[in-house]
Amino acid sequence: MSNRLISSLKSYLLEKFENLQDLLEISSAGEILRRYFVMNAFDGALTMLGFVVGAYISGSKNPNLILSAGLSASYAMAISGFVGALITEKAERERKVKELERAMFTKLDNSLIDKASDTAVVLAALTDALAPMLAALTSASPYIFSRMGLISFDVATFISVSITLALVFCLGLFLGRVSKGNMILYGFYMLLAGLAVSLLMFLSTGPDI
């Protein structure tokens, strides 16, 4: 009985996944979702990098401060990203549907195109919300171990910066793969951007020390 249940569940999930793929293809949302993911994950990672570098060079060695700032920034980026993307994409998708209605001389309410448009809006909003939040939390995660006393604040900072730069580099690799260009080159472009943020934080905070 349990095997039948598992098999039925797998079939159901596979069917839903295939339906989702069809809706994404109809709405041409794949490119938009990739763009939202990379841009906002990059923003989340560099926001956290700014907190980490700024706190460290200012002399603060309180992991609770970094974690609190990371959580607050994550929630703020998630909420603002979700609401902003939801409203923006909804407006854009409604405009395109209305243009299609005028071209086809028919209403598209509850049609496959309408459902695909709604699906694209929701997924874009979720991607815009989750990408920066997950990136920021990943960057801040070493400070959990520092707070537990397992590693020092300095080690946590080194690991956090390393994770963030590695994450940024991986985002560049992803962009390179999408563009079918030089993945390593794109990775270094993104890595240089991360290093530039660290340098700017150092220069802006340094004089106040």
pLDDT, tens digit, for every residue of 100-149?
667 776 676 666 676 777 788 888 888 888 888 888 889 889 999 998 88
Q: Answer yes or no: is 110 within a domain.
A: yes
Structural domain including 97 reads 30-203
Q: Answer yes or no: is 20 within a domain.
A: no
What span, in angstroms and rounded, lies between the C-alpha atoms of 80 and 17?
28
Q: Answer yes or no: is 39 within a domain.
A: yes
Q: Answer yes or no: is 82 within a domain.
A: yes
pLDDT level of residue 70 (50, 70, 90 thresholds): confident
What span, in angstroms and rounded, lies between the C-alpha atoms of 11 and 5?
10
What span, in angstroms and rounded, lies between the C-alpha atoms of 89 and 144?
36
∠ at Cα 74 (126, 53), nearest 5°? 140
Q: Answer yes or no: is 133 within a domain.
A: yes
State how far the alpha carbon of 49 is from the alpha carbons of 18, 133, 206, in Å.
Answer: 38, 13, 16
Q: Answer yes or no: is 209 within a domain.
A: no
Residue 35 has pLDDT above 70, yes or no: yes
pLDDT mean across residues, the chain = 78
Query: How much is the pLDDT for 142?
Result: 92
Query: How much is the pLDDT for 33?
Result: 81
Side-chain half-sphere CA neighbours of 152 within 13 A: 4
pLDDT level of residue 17 (50, 70, 90 thresholds): low
Residue 16 has pLDDT above 50, yes or no: yes
Q: Answer yes or no: is 132 within a domain.
A: yes
> Poorest-confidence range of 20-34, 58-72, 83-97, 157-171?
20-34
Q: Answer yes or no: is 103 within a domain.
A: yes
Domain count of the chain? Answer: 1
Query: How much is the pLDDT for 145?
Result: 92
